[in-house]
Structure 1
Amino acid sequence: MRDFRDAKVMAQTLRDSLNTKSISISHSQSLELVSRMFGLADWNTLSALIKSGDRIAAARPPTIQAATTRRPAIPLRDLVPFPGATYPLFVGRAKTVSALNYAFARQSEVVIVLQKQSAVDDPSFDDLHEIGARAELNELTPLPDGTLKVQVRIGQRILLRTFSNEGDAFEADVSDISEEATADAPDLILRAVTRFERYAAVRNIRLPDNWPPFGRDRHPGRVADAIAAEIRLPLGQKYELLAVLDPVRRLELVEALFDRTARPVSAALQATRQRAVAHARKRRHRYATLEHLLLALTEDDSAAAVMRNCRASLTDLQAKATAYLDTEFRPVEADDGELAQPTAAFLRVNDRAALAAPEVGYPVVTGANTLLAIFPEPRSPAARLLAEHGVTMVRAAKAVADGVGKEEA
C-alpha cells in the first residue's frame, strides 16, 4: 500500500491516467492534487512531510511487557487520559471508591481503564478497551454527597489483561507498554506544535502555564500526548489516539487533525459566505464583518434551524442586522478594488467552525457550526444581536450537539 513518500510516483501515474482520457494537467497540478488526497493543504506541506519522513531514523517499536501486575482499577465513562496530564476525577461507584481507598492505604498506583459504553454501571472485561494507563494519586477529597474527588497524574500506557468486578473493589491485571526508544522527528514536532498553538488561539483554549509541558523533549509520542490531552474530540476518536502505540504515527495523526482542508464546507455555507461579502459590496464597505456574516446566516437553512430552535424570530433578527449595517455601522468605504475584504474576526470564525464541525460529528462545515463560532467574539455587535434575540451560546451549542442544522456530506 502506498504512503505519502510515494507522492511523486502517484502524481505521474495520475497525469498518465488523465492523458489517456484526453485530460491534460501540468506536473505541478498533479502534485497539488495528490497533496489533497493525503488531506494536506498543498505540495509544499507534503514535500516537507516527505523530507521529515526521510530523516526519521528507524527505532525500536514500543514493547508490551510479558509480566503482569495486579492493581486497583478505575473504569472511566467520559474521559480519555493521556500520559503526562493531570486530571480531577469525580468518583461515586462503590467499587471504584473501594479501589481508591485501597490504593491510598497502600500508597499504590491505580490503573485507569476506559468503558466502551458509559451506561454500564458494573463493567466486566468485555465492556472495557484494552489500552489504558497507570495513574498516580495526588490528592483525595471526600465530597458532601458521599462521592470522592481525586487528582491523578497519568503515567505510562498499559495493556489490560484481566479485569475483576467480583469483589468489593475493581481490580485489573495489566502489562506495561514501554515506548522509551523512539525516533527523532523534529520537523513533525515543530509542525504539530505550531498548528496546535494556532488551534488553541482560534478555540480560545487556555494552555497550561508550563506549556509546552515537554520542554525540549524530542520524543514525538510525548508531544502527541500533550497535544491530544488538550484538543476537543469525541471520546471514540480520543481513544483511537491513545491506542496508537507507534509514537511517530500518533503524532502524525494528531497533526493531521488540524488540517482544515480536510473539512469540506457545505455548498449552502459557501453560498452564505458569498452572500455576506455581497452584503458588504452592496454597501461599498471595505471590510466584510461578522455583522455581514450574521445577516447572511439568517438566510442559511442550517444556521436558521439553530436560531429557530433557540426561539428567535428570524424576521426580527434580520431586520435588526440590516438596520445596524445601514444606520449604526461606521464603515470604511473603499474603491472597487478594495471592497469587502473579510476581517480577521470573519476569518477566525471560519477557522473555528471548520475545527468544531468534526468534534460534534458533522460531516461538512455548516452554517450551524459558523453561527456557534461567532460567540467566542463577545465584543462583536453580531454576538450582541444574537443574545438580544435569545440566541445564546449555551442554547445554540445544545442545538448543534443534538444535530440541529446538520448536513450530510
Structure 2
Amino acid sequence: MAQTLRESLTTKAVTISHSESLELVSRMLGVADWNTLSAMLHAERRDASVPAAQLKMTTAFYPAVPLRDLVPFPNTTYPLFVGRESTVQALNQAFESGREVVLAIQREAAVDNPRFSDVYEIATLAQLLELEPLADGTFRVLTRGLRRVALRSFAAEAAAYRAEVVDVTEAAARDARDLIRSIYQRFQDYTAAHGILVPDIWLFFDQTRDPGQIADVVATRMKLPVGDKYTLLATLDPVKRLEQIEALLDLSQRPISVNYAATRRQALHHADRRRHRYATLEHLLLALIEDAEASAVMRACDADLGGLRQGLEQYLDNELKHTVTETESAEPTAAFKRVDQRAALYAQEVGYAAVTGANALVALFAETRSPAARLLAEHGVSRGRADKAIARGVG
C-alpha cells in the first residue's frame, strides 16, 4: 500500500520517502504509527521459520546490501565486492551515518533488482570497516557481522536499498561441551580434506565455549550451497545450529552413486589385474574415463579420452612395475583415500544428493604432484574448466 501511494503521488509531482508513506498508510488505517502497525501485522501473520518469542517489536531502518552468493554470519569479517549502483549508494549512506548496514541474502542470484520477496527474512547487521575503489569501477568493502536481524521491509529508496529490521534474540545456550569437542575433531578432518587454511580457528576454539559463536565461525568456513548456509543462519538455537553443523560435517551421510561405486571397484580391478600392491590415482583416473558423469565432464573440456587412456596405461604398465606383488588385492593409496573423501565434500558443496565420478574428478586436481593430475592438464582438463562444465549441468 505504501509503494502504491508513493507511485500515485509521484504522478502528481509529489515526492515522499518510503518511510513517510508507511506512516501515512498507518494513519489511514487508524493506527498511530508504522511501528505499531508492523507489530500488529507481525503478530497476526508470523513466519514459522522465526520463533515468535524471540522477535522484538522495536524496528529500525538501515541502508541495505543484497548479496547474491554469500551468507554472512555474526562474529566474522568478510570482504564484499559490489558494483550495483543501488548497493554503492547504500554503502555511501552507511559510511555517512553509523557505518552499519543490513546484509540481505538473495533467494536467487540471477535477480538483478531484488525486492522484499526476493530476499530471505533473516539477515545480518554488519559494521563497515573500510571501502576501497577498484580499477574496474567496483568497490571492495570490508565488513564485520554484528548480529542477526529479521527483515520487515526491503526496497530501493532514492536510488539506494533500505531495510527495516527487528532484532532477533537467540535461545539460551545450553551445555554443549561434548558436541563442541566432536565438532572440533570433525572440523580438523574437514579442513584437511578440503585444503582449507584456518590458522586462527583452533586458538578460537580454545578461547571460547559459546556454542553460538563457534557454530557461526565454523559455518563461515564450510563450503556449502547458499540454501544450507542460510538454514544455519536462520537457526536461532545455538545448540541446534551446532547439531546441524555436525551432521553436515559427517561425510558418511552423503551416499555414493551406483555409477561411482562401480568406478571405484573398477579402479581396484585395474590394480589387481596388474598385480600392483597399491591402487593409485592413475588407476582411479583410468576407471573415471569409463564413468558416465566424469567422462562427460572430460569431454566437455575437449579431452581426447583415447589419448588419455593410452597415457595412463603406459604409465601403469611401465612406471609401476616395482609395485608388483603376489598379494590378492590392492590397497588404495593415501592420495586415493584423500580424493575419495574430498569428492564427498565437493558433492556436499554443489548440493549433489550422492557422490559421483564428476566429484571425484574435481577432487583429483588437488593432488598436483600426481601423474594423473599432470596427464589431465596435458589433455586440457583443468579444475576451472571442469567446474564450469559442472555448473552448466554436465555430468
TM-score, with length taken from structure 1: 0.80
RMSD: 2.0
**Equivalences for 1:4-403 in 2 at 5 Å?**
63-179=54-170, 181-209=172-200, 211-336=202-327, 339-403=329-393
Question: Contact 1:345/1:377 (CA < 8 Å) preserved in 2?
Answer: yes
* 1:351 partner letter: Q
Aligned-partner SS, 1:165? strand
Deviations 1:184-239 (A, max 9, x none): 20111111121122111111111144545354322222111111111111112211
**Secondary structure in 1 matching 2:364:** coil
Give the deviation of 1:83 after TM superposition.
1.1
1:159–1:294 CA distance, 2 compared to 1 (3 A): same
Q: Which runs of 5+ in 1 are unaligned?
A: 1-59
Distance 1:355 1:62 in 2: 36
Asked if the contact 2:172–2:237 (Cα under 8 Å) also holds between the matched residues in 1, the reply is: no
- Separation of aligned partners in 1, 2:379 and 2:53: 55
Give 1:296 shift.
1.4
* Shift, 1:301, TM fit: 1.8
Task: Tell me the distance in 2 between the aligned counterparts of 1:104 and 1:83.
Answer: 20
Alpha-carbon deviations, 1:331-367, whole Å to 9, x = none? 3333325x41111100111111112113223222111
Alpha-carbon distance in 2 for matches of 1:278, 1:219 = 49
Moved more, 193-202 or 179-188: 179-188
Name the amino acid aligned to 1:253. Q
Between the aligned residues of both structures, percent identity stands at 54
Deviations 1:90-123 (A, max 9, x none): 2222222222112212233111112222333333
Mapped contact 1:287–1:332 kept (Cα < 8 A): yes
Distance 1:127 1:303, change over 3 A: closer
Conserved? CA contact 1:62–1:179, under 8 Å: no
Cα distance in 1 between the residues matched to 2:250 and 2:271: 29
Confirm or deny: 8 A CA contact 2:128 2:144 kept in the other structure: yes
1:288–1:62 Cα change, 3 Å: farther
Question: What secondary structure does 2:249 align onto?
Answer: coil
Gaps of 5+ in 2: 1-50
Q: Secondary structure at the match of 1:336?
A: coil
Return the alpha-carbon distance in structure 1 between the equivalents of residues 53 and 335 of structure 2: 44
Q: What is the rounded CA distance, in whole Å, between the counterparts of 1:118 and 1:269 in structure 2?
A: 31
The letter for the 2-side match of 1:311 is D
| Aligned-partner Cα distance in 1 for 2:91–2:205 | 29
Structure 1 residues 274-332: Cα deviation after superposition (integer angstroms, max 9, x where no partner): 11111111222111111111111122222111111111121111111111011122533
- Contact 1:214–1:222 (Cα < 8 Å) also in 2: no
In 2, are the aligned partners of 1:203 and 1:352 still within 8 Å (CA)? Answer: yes
Tell me if the contact between 1:61 and 1:246 (Cα under 8 Å) persists in the aligned partners.
no
Q: How many residues align?
A: 345
Shift of residue 374 of structure 1? 0.6
* 1:62 Cα deviation after fit: 8.0
Q: Structure 1's 122 and 294: CA in aligned 2 closer, same or farther, altered over 3 A?
A: closer
Q: Distance in 2 between matches of 1:254 and 1:62?
A: 24
2:353 partner amino acid: P
How far apart, in 2, do the equivalents of 1:298 and 1:163 lie? 49
Distance in 2 between residues matched to 1:107 and 1:348, nearest whole Å: 47
Confirm or deny: 8 A CA contact 1:184 1:219 kept in the other structure: no
Could you say which residue in structure 2 is the equivalent of 1:23?
none
The one-letter code sitting in structure 2 at the alignment partner of 1:292 is H
